[in-house]
Amino acid sequence: MAGAKIITRRLAILGGFAGAGWLIANTDKLTLDSDFARVFRAVEDWTKTTQRGLLYPDRLAREYSPSDISPFFKPNGTFNPGTPEYSAHAALNFANWRLKIDGLVEKPLSLSVDELRRLPRRTQITKHDCVEGWTAIGMWTGVPVGLLLKAAGLKPNARYAVFHCADNLTGEPAKGGEQSPGQYYESIDLRDAFHPQTILAYGFNGKALDVPHGAPLRLRVERQLGYKQAKYVERIQLVDSFSQIAGGQGGYWEDRGYEWYAGI
């Protein structure tokens, strides 16, 4: 019996090392394996569950003082959508830009930027954390997304707000991986949509939002990474699932392998 036990232990030790060695030797292969991706997905869910649990009920992201604002706030992704339609809007200072709110709402809305400016506003100086690792601090002024959703009236089955953007992005070398072109979009769930710091910003650092930073409207979801902060927003669509939109993962970067929950 004792002999059997020792052999079992030897096998366990050797098996453990063989497994670890195999894993280390095959990280490239496993990275591209769609079955293994389910492990990564489970980790993302676990991170989200943990953060959401600890964030209860609705903790605020830190807000900074004006002296903390970065001298240079790096624009990333699209610097200018550059389409004829967008350029025409930009030439008129976005006077004819409309934000549409539709999908699973009682009363679809179409609002001009001026109309949005007349609604209650929130100004916040927050940290913008890019998934690549850099940070910039800026001041954003805009209308709370929750206010707009209340005005439109959510249908009971609405679960996500999808933000459709005017820019077509071809990818970024820094982010590596698959880099196919696509229309930019993002999605958040209602808990983030109704968070007091979640705003559609039209003002940046005390001025009108400029083109490189997402004029005329940019989403701010302050407790998530930079790629969730969709620029050039022209439509908010309320859905019960985003699996039928574009790549089905809920966002431009999500369709290219990044986490939908970008809290880490």
Choose which of 101, 131, 154, 169 interacts with other proteins (CB under 8 A).
131
Choose which of 160, 163, 253, 260 interacts with other proteins (CB under 8 A).
253
By CB under 8 A, tell whether 134 contacts other proteins.
Answer: yes
Distances, alpha carbon 212 to alpha carbons 11, 76, 93, 127, in Å: 60, 8, 14, 18
- Do the strands 98-103 and 233-239 form a parallel or antiparallel pair, or are they unpaired? parallel
Min CB(164)–other proteins separation in Å: 22
By CB under 8 A, tell whether 176 contacts other proteins.
Answer: yes
Please give the torsion angle defined by the CA atoms of residues 144, 259, 159 and 140, in that order, rounded to the nearest 10 degrees: 0
Nearest by Cα to 97 from 182, 246, 190, 209: 209
By CB under 8 A, tell whether 125 contacts other proteins.
Answer: no
By CB under 8 A, tell whether 71 contacts other proteins.
Answer: yes
Stretch of 61-69, 85-93, 106-114, 161-169 lying at the interface with other proteins (CB under 8 A): 61-69
Q: 70 or 112, CB closer to other proteins?
A: 70
Choose which of 167, 186, 234, 259 interacts with other proteins (CB under 8 A).
259
Residues 221-250 that bind other proteins (CB under 8 A): 222-225
By CB under 8 A, tell whether 44 contacts other proteins.
Answer: yes
Distance CA 143, CA 97 (A): 16
Residue 234 contacts residue 166 (beta carbons within 8 Å): yes
Distance CA 264, CA 261 (A): 8
Nearest by Cα to 55 from 221, 220, 199: 221
| Peptide bond preceding 156 in cis form (omega within 30 of 0) | no
Min CB(262)–other proteins separation in Å: 8
By CB under 8 A, tell whether 25 contacts other proteins.
Answer: no
By CB under 8 A, tell whether 204 contacts other proteins.
Answer: no
By CB under 8 A, tell whether 139 contacts other proteins.
Answer: no
Choose which of 1, 3, 28, 207 interacts with other proteins (CB under 8 A).
28
DSSP 39-101: HHHHHHHHHHHHHHHHHTTTPPPP---GGGS-SS----S-S----HHHHHHHHTTTTT-EEEE
Distance CA 17, CA 166 (A): 51
Choose which of 8, 11, 25, 40 interacts with other proteins (CB under 8 A).
40
Q: What are phi and psi of 160, to 5 degrees?
A: -130, 150
Residue 141 contacts residue 202 (beta carbons within 8 Å): yes
Min CB(54)–other proteins separation in Å: 4
Choose which of 102, 132, 189, 210 interacts with other proteins (CB under 8 A).
132
Residue 256 contacts residue 176 (beta carbons within 8 Å): no
Choose which of 140, 185, 256, 260 interacts with other proteins (CB under 8 A).
256
Residues that bind other proteins (CB under 8 A): 6, 9-10, 13, 16-17, 20, 23-24, 27-28, 31, 37, 39-40, 43-44, 46-47, 51, 54-55, 59-62, 64, 68, 70-74, 127, 129-137, 174-177, 222-225, 253, 256-259, 262-264
